[in-house]
Amino acid sequence: MIEKLIKTDGKRYIKKTFDYKGEDNFAFLKNEVFWLNYLKSKWVPELYEVGNNYIITRYYGPDLNTLRNNKFKLADDLADQTLEMYKFFKEKNVFKLNGALSNLTMNGNQLVAFDWKWARFRTDKYIDYEVISYEKWLSKIDSELVEKLKCMI
Ligand SMILES: Nc1ncnc2c1ncn2[C@@H]1O[C@H](COP(=O)(O)OP(=O)(O)O)[C@@H](O)[C@H]1O
Ligand SMILES: [Mg+2]
């Protein structure tokens, strides 16, 4: 469950409650918190608070899928930013696995990736899943992006 919050600091936040039916919600929460801490940078939202069954992160604006559906003009260098971001993920040895546009947002002109519950350290076993994520979702940013990302994997 997602809830938008405004804190006394005037900044916007998102509270994500882990209440997925039939899933190990505590494992999801631990994984998400691990990656947000480990990847702390311009590429991931700031983690503000962690509870037993929820996390609170910064909210910078709607996700890219929502922006696209509402015909918002996306940043001109979005494909380059995506490549640079995946370079960073490689350096950090992570496969995000779910690269849906609904899990990306913009902090001003800066691309930001959230929803880390499925992420894991890179192993050959998950290459196919990571590639599917490029083909299924990131291709919508730029058709040439898929090949570039595959070359880099
Ligand atoms: N930091 C964020 N910035 C913008 N939108 C967000 C953010 N966190 C969540 N959302 C919105 O809530 C939706 C669900 O959150 P997400 O973390 O992707 O969880 P899940 O996909 O597991 O339900 C996202 O697709 C997005 O629309
Ligand atoms: Mg999601």
Tally of structural domains, the chain: 1
Give the closest residue to 55 by CA, choosing from 116, 126, 121: 116
Q: Using CA atoms in the order 5, 77, 152, 34, what is the torsion angle rounded to 10 degrees?
A: -10
Domain with 134 in it: what CATH number?
Answer: 1.10.510.10
Q: pLDDT tens per residue, the chain (153 residues)?
A: 999 988 888 899 999 999 999 999 999 999 999 999 999 999 999 999 999 999 999 999 999 999 999 999 899 999 999 999 999 999 999 999 998 999 999 999 999 999 999 999 999 999 999 999 999 999 999 989 999 999 998
Give the closest residue to 113 by CA, choosing from 128, 129, 133: 133
Cα separation, 38 vs 115, whole angstroms: 14
- For residue 91, give its domain range: 2-152
pTM: 0.95
**Ligand 2 center to 63 CA (angstroms):** 10
Cross-strand bridge partners of residue 121: 94
Q: What does the block give as tokens for 72? A: 């918002």
Find out whether the beta carbon of 103 lies less than 6 Å from any atom of ligand 1.
yes
Find out whether the beta carbon of 16 lies less than 6 Å from any atom of ligand 1.
yes
